[in-house]
Homo-oligomer: A and B are copies of this chain.
Amino acid sequence: MPNNQEQFKDLLRKNGLKVTNQRIAILEALSDRPGEHLTAEEIYDVVKKDYPDIGLATVYRTIQLLSELNLIDKLNLDDGYVRYEIGSENPEENCHHHHHLICLDCGNIYAFQDDLLENLESRIKETLGFDVVNHEVKLYGYCKECINNRAVKSN
């Protein structure tokens, strides 16, 4: 959506930052791939198609910027890469109800929404006095396809 892009430009200006082609291209690369979880290198490769002169350092710097502006979410799968995905349009529900299922077999990542922690978090506030403001939930296991494939192979 071009609307989204205008919002981004305004957000940059509002923070005394400059609107550059590189920044727009990087945000677009992620916007065009909702639900995908790209590494810095992968974003670099995508953006390089339209922008062959871009440097990897710019990608890293822009990713950090977008993350601070809460436009993208970080995801660390402990495989040596930090991954990024575009946030939901509604910033309120951004990370808070957005969790990940990670298949240990094929490596695919499935997102799901759930507010299961709301309850727990108020209980923690009451019993421990700890005020939870954010959370990260990763569920590891085996996806439908991989379970089926295994069943087929073992026959």
Contact = CB atoms under 8 A, between A and B. Distances in A.
Interface of A: 74, 76, 78, 82, 101, 103-104, 110, 112, 114, 116-117, 119-121, 124, 128-144, 147
Given A112-B124, A116-B117, A124-B101, A135 B129 contact: no
A135 B130 contact: no
Complex copy number for this chain: 2
B116 A104 contact: no
Given A78-B76, A116-B117, A121-B139, A144 B128 contact: yes
B144 A140 contact: no
A121 B120 CA distance: 16
A130 B142 contact: yes
B128 A135 contact: no
A133 B141 contact: yes
A139 B147 contact: no
A147 B3 CA distance: 39
Given A101-B124, A130-B141, A131-B142, 16 more contacts: A103-B130, A110-B130, A116-B116, A116-B119, A117-B139, A121-B139, A124-B139, A130-B143, A131-B141, A132-B139, A132-B141, A133-B142, A134-B140, A135-B138, A135-B139, A136-B138
